[in-house]
Amino acid sequence: MVKTPGHGGLDVPEGHLSYLTSGDHGPAVVLLHGAGFDNNQVSWARLGRELSEDHRVFAPDLPGHGESRPWNACADGRGLEDVTLRLLDHWGLRSATLIGLSLGAAIAMGTALRAPSRVDRLILVSSGGIQDRVPHHELSYLMTKRPMTWLFGLILRRPAVARRFIDGMPFTDDVGERERRQLEDLIREEAARRRGQFLDDWQRLSMGPRRSLVDFRPGLRRISCPTLFVHGRDDALVPLRYAQDAASRVEGARLAVIEGAGHTAPLDHPAQVGQVIREFLDATSPGHHD
């Protein structure tokens, strides 16, 4: 029987951190969501419920998302890795499996490289932090600068835009209309909380005018824990070739390609993403290759 997730929080000098917990036995897993109008309920609600049957699941709202506000510090890569390690301490976890989506995957990678003894396994979905350039890089760089970022965020706040975003996603048949509308409502609520501020500090500070400033690939050979990359074949934000390259650099890493999925695979292909994650967790043990 799956229990209703419990709400918790941690007050630190920089602000408030909110999180959900579920499951009362099994290995610990931490779900790290993505950027933009994402939070712990948008991307990970279904997977969190499924894993809580035999795992202890911890799903924080990253700073500035969901109920993790106010936040009065820079939430760049180093800052978000600090938050992850402080939450592990708060939860009494010496180590855990980190499962991240996009921005969350970059945080998970950075944490594993910085504090390898704290990370049992890595599952990196639609991973950020593995490319030297993003599509239309120069234009994307301009979009990270105010006032463009505010204008972009205000446009995305509009209810009609949120609905078009959801309706344009390549949902599989197992994601019914009710679940799609719930996702739409969650995204609209997050957009209202963020007051049109779509981009995170990590997004703004990780992009230079010509190249990405955060690319973990040169250091990935240092990762020794069991690692799974999950990537949509049609991901336009982080093309599949980057995940293939990154996976080739981690000893023993696996790559699962989700057919028909783009960058938001956990939302529009949740059953397929959940299946490959479950298979990986069942086939590996928390620990390190060495």
Q: Mention every residue, 6+ apart, whose C-beta is less than 8 A from residue 119.
A: 95, 96, 97, 98, 108, 111, 112, 225
Sign of CA dihedral 200, 128, 133, 218: positive
| Confidence tier at 2 by pLDDT (50, 70, 90) | very low
Residue 189 pLDDT exceeds 60: yes
Instruction: Give yes or no for a cis peptide into 147 (omega within 30° of 0).
Output: yes
Residue 149 pLDDT exceeds 60: no
Residue 173 pLDDT exceeds 80: yes
Residue 58 pLDDT exceeds 80: yes
229-288 pLDDT per residue, tens: 999 999 999 999 999 999 999 999 999 999 999 999 999 999 999 999 999 999 998 865
91-145 pLDDT per residue, tens: 999 999 999 999 999 999 999 999 999 999 999 999 999 999 888 777 776 676 6
Q: Mention every residue, 6+ apart, whose C-beta is less than 8 A from residue 97.
A: 27, 28, 29, 30, 119, 120, 121, 122, 123, 281, 286
HSE of 141, CA atoms in CB hemisphere, 13 A = 14
What is the three-class DSSP state of 54? coil
Residue 1 pLDDT exceeds 50: no
Domain boundaries, the chain: 6-133+214-283
Sign of CA dihedral 49, 50, 52, 55: negative
Residue 43 pLDDT exceeds 70: yes
Q: How far apart are CA 186 and CA 164, in angstroms?
A: 14
182-185 contacts, C-beta under 8 A, 24 or more apart: 183/42, 183/267
Instruction: Report yes or no: 35 and 76 within 8 Å, Cβ to Cβ.
Output: no
Mean pLDDT, residues 212-216 taken together: 89
Q: Mention every residue, 6+ apart, whose C-beta is less than 8 A from residue 211.
A: 132, 133, 137
Residue 104 carries which side chain, given as an amino acid letter?
Answer: G
Q: In this structure, what token pair is assigned to residue 265? A: 């695979």
Q: What one-character-per-residue DSSP string does 219-239 give?
A: GGGG--S-EEEEEETT-SSS-
> Which residue from 206, 195, 178, 179 is spatially nearest to 269, judged by alpha carbons?
179
Q: How far apart are CA 161 and CA 171, in angstroms?
A: 17
Instruction: Report yes or no: 229 and 246 within 8 Å, Cβ to Cβ.
Output: yes
Q: In this structure, what token pair is assigned to residue 177? A: 């209309």
Residues found in the chain: 290
pTM of the model: 0.91
Q: Tell me: domain 6-133+214-283, CATH 3.40.50.1820, correct? A: yes
Residue 141 carries which side chain, given as an amino acid letter?
Answer: Y
